[in-house]
Amino acid sequence: MTDIDSALDDIARLREQLAASSRFQGLAPGVVALTGLFALALGGWQLRATEEDLFVWILLAAICALMIGTEAVVRSRTHHRAMADRMLTTTLNRFLPVATAGAIIGIVILLRAPEHGRLLPGLWQVLMGVGIFSVLSNLPRQMLFAALFYFATGTASLILSANNALSTAWLMMVPFGVGQLLVAGLLLHASREAPHG
């Protein structure tokens, strides 16, 4: 290995470390808030139609992930410029395994053990908390509250899932609707305080 190769490797490692410790600014509060409104709307529709299809929630999660991801790419190119690809890759490498686990758990339970489907809202909320914790070093410090919120609602949903009095629409609509609006509010607050310190 030549000195130039060694120097290039050192620069690449430094960029990776910088990306791993820098604040990711690709999440748009407006788009995240919209996903919360979608969750409230879908839950309201399911309650009115007495529909409890959790596959629709997997579809909504995929649509919301696509919306957030598209906006994140655009915003990161604006905010992070040369570091955009590295910031996106670092954030995705941390969050994607959790999101994939949620999708796999949901699809397998709904297809092979639908009698346990009532546990999915709580499991998904706990996984959302884990996902936020996994990227916390790249997010505003206030996002800790969102992770704790999802852990708390996930625990409550798992406990309440044993009680058939509450439909899965309630167990999905309130935590994810309110949770995503909370995330949007925290992102907005962080973006307003960023120029000051």
As a three-state string, the secondary structure of the chain is CCHHHHHHHHHHHHHHHHHHHCCCCCCCHHHHHHHHHHHHHHHHHHHHHCCCCCHHHHHHHHHHHHHHHHHHHHHHHHHCHHHHHHHHHHHHHHHHHHHHHHHHHHHHHHHHCHHHHHHHHHHHHHHHHHHHHHCHHHCCCCHHHHHHHHHHHHHHHHHHCCCCCCCHHHHHHHHHHHHHHHHHHHHHHHHHHHHHC
What's the rounded Cα separation, in Å, for the pair 155 and 185? 23
**Chain center to CA of 85:** 19
Give the least confident one: 87-96, 127-136, 166-175.
87-96
pLDDT at 159 over 80: yes
What's the rounded Cα separation, in Å, for the pair 125 and 129? 6
Q: Record the pTM.
A: 0.84
What's the rounded Cα separation, in Å, for the pair 109 and 119? 9
Question: pLDDT grade, residue 194 (50/70/90)?
Answer: low
What's the rounded Cα separation, in Å, for the pair 17 and 60? 34
Query: Which pLDDT score, from 0 to 100, does residue 19 have?
Result: 46
